[in-house]
Amino acid sequence: MTMNATTTTTGAVHRQGFVVDLPLPPSVNHRYVRTRRGGVALTARAREYQESVYAELLAQLGRVPRPWPGARLGMRVELCYPDRRRRDLDNALKALLDAVCGALGLDDSVVDYLVVQRVYRGRALARTTVWWQ
């Protein structure tokens, strides 16, 4: 499947996508906790992150877009770090994908195209471009 991003402006909603600056996600190492019954649950920090992503979508876009039923997503993520400490990119992705897709009312299994890049911009954020077709 070929996907073409049709968005360029941060905080702008287009017919088929948007670009937003989100807080950096917590590491997957801080995402789950064991329950008393032997199950697994999201930590308070992970739940707070999901809520903050939803709030950022509302603040930057004015609404939370809803792709049409059956839409397949593409995402481009720039993980912007303030320093050059060692970090694994994949540790941040699961929380980000779950939070963005959850805010859109979708499961992250609909993401068919994903590009991730680490950049150093002096401030911590996850610039995320999402589009669907």
pLDDT tens track, the chain, 133 positions: 444 444 445 665 556 899 999 999 887 776 777 778 888 778 888 889 999 999 999 999 999 988 888 999 999 999 998 888 888 888 889 889 999 999 999 999 999 999 999 998 778 889 999 999 8
pTM over 0.75: yes
Q: What is the 3-state secondary structure (H, E, C) of the chain?
A: CCCCCCCCCCCCEECCEEEEEECCCCCHHHCEEECCCCCEEECHHHHHHHHHHHHHHHHHHCCCCCCCCCCCEEEEEEEEECCCCCCCHHHHHHHHHHHHHHHCCCCHHHEEEEEEEEEECCCCEEEEEEEEC
